[in-house]
Amino acid sequence: MNWLWKRKSTFTQQPLESLPSLLTELGVDLVLLGGDFTSSSLPEEFAAAQQFVSQIRQPWIAIPGNHDNYTKRAFRTRRYYDYFSNPTGSTLRDFGIEIHPLIAPWTLIALDTTLATPPTSSVGYISKELEILLEDALKDLPASTSILLFNHYPFFQNDTPSHNLQRGEALEQLLRRHFPRIRLYLQGHSHRHTIADLQNSGLPIVLDSGCIAMGDQATWNLIDLQTDCCQVTGYLWKERWEPFRMETIPWKQK
């Protein structure tokens, strides 16, 4: 019903068709898929998304969005993971957290904070147990590690209560405690393209790629991690993918 009510007129397949080949042309090393592969977590939607992802030639890491656990049955059976289990990880399904070492000094930590919700709600939840697991993971990583934290939900409580991450304040405090080791917070959910440097506030750079299937508002981010800075190029769909925003953000210390 979600698809019939609202999303069918908003989302389109066309931007997806040329994206896998563009990623190869650009020399992308790793693709991060931030969730909402489906509208209502139906098996046929997952199968279609799986077919698209199979065209991506690069290694990829994926996390679920709220629409991927939209129904109680999909959430209870962990249906998302029947289609998208990360090739280099195995703990996201059972524990909500997964650690992926990248090229030194970088490590990505992926979170699953999704819930089954009523049709009028899309909240997420970072439990106290998951917060403790994340704290322990951060403590176990070498102090020299630079971290990307990957979570579908924004940690700020700026949206309507029915769209927020419950206990998001606890996650924000964790980010502050571990800044600047956590360099980037990669989020989705809002479908709003975002490049926000919050380092002067003691928080990481926040990146939201937007949505790659959102018609003439479809966007995604190309991220280049360098020793002294982060280069981000936002791509926008205008009958083809074109760069529309480029920022170079120096890393900052406390």
CB neighbour burial string for 201-231, b if at least 16 within 10 angstroms, e if fewer: eebbbbbbbbbbbbeeebbbbbbebeeeebe
Q: What is the pLDDT of residue 119?
A: 72
CATH code, domain with 39:
3.60.21.10
What is the predicted pLDDT for the residue at 9? 47
pLDDT score, position 199 = 98
Span 11-26, pLDDT tens digits: 688 899 999 999 999 9
Domain count, the chain: 1
Q: What angle do CA 12, 148, 40 make, to 5 degrees?
A: 30
Full residue range of the structural domain in which residue 91 is found: 2-250
Residues 98-124: pLDDT tens digits? 999 999 999 999 999 998 877 777 788
pLDDT score, position 27: 98
In the chain, % helix, strand, coil (3-state, to 5) comes to: 30, 25, 45
- The pLDDT value given to residue 70: 81
Q: Which residues of the chain have pLDDT under 70?
A: 1-11, 159
